[in-house]
Amino acid sequence: MSYDIAIESDHKPKALAELQGVRALFAEIPHMAEIGQRRFQYDDGIRYFESWLDIVDEDGNTLIPDPKRQESDVDQDGVRDKVNVITTSVPYGFSGLELMDMLDVCFQIATRLGWRVFDQQLGDYVE
């Protein structure tokens, strides 16, 4: 179980950001490590959370190409190098002060991208 936050545009369709730019933004955050092309981990020895850089359709289904697809089909949807939602998750074992730290980081990222922070438990954007 975890506490989950999404960083996204509130426009329909959701605004797209360049994957490389978002990865560079995450690289600037202290204690944040890239653990996959679209996955990051924040760990300062006390606080821990993970973030995923995703691209979803209007129904919330991921559009990230399946690595099992043929290389020629990988970018047929034109989304391989884009991001339109960042999902951040704090495991419940870390959900005390870590939640506030995660929200601070989420607001920093959202501000830089011109996006908003969506609390998936509340089902609404938070300010």
The predicted-structure confidence for 35-72, as pLDDT tens digits, reads as follows 987 999 999 888 889 999 998 888 888 877 655 444 44
Judged against a pLDDT cut of 80, whether residue 8 lies above it is answered with yes
Could you tell me the CA-to-CA distances from 103 to 4, 60, 65, 76 in Å, in that order? 10, 22, 29, 35
What is the distance between the alpha carbons of residues 117 and 43, in angstroms, rounded to a whole number? 21
User: What is the helix (H) or strand (E) element at residue 102, kind and residue range?
Assistant: helix 97-113
Q: What is the pTM of this model?
A: 0.84
Q: Tell me if the bond preceding 65 is cis, omega within 30° of 0.
A: no
Question: What pLDDT score was predicted for residue 74?
Answer: 46
Mean of the per-residue pLDDT values for the chain? 84
Query: Would you kindly state where each structural domain of the chain is located, as residue ranges?
Result: 2-66+78-126
According to the CATH classification, is domain 2-66+78-126 in 1.10.287? no
Give all strands of the β-sheet with 32-36 in edge-to-edge order: 32-36, 39-43, 48-54, 85-91, 2-8, 116-119, 124-126
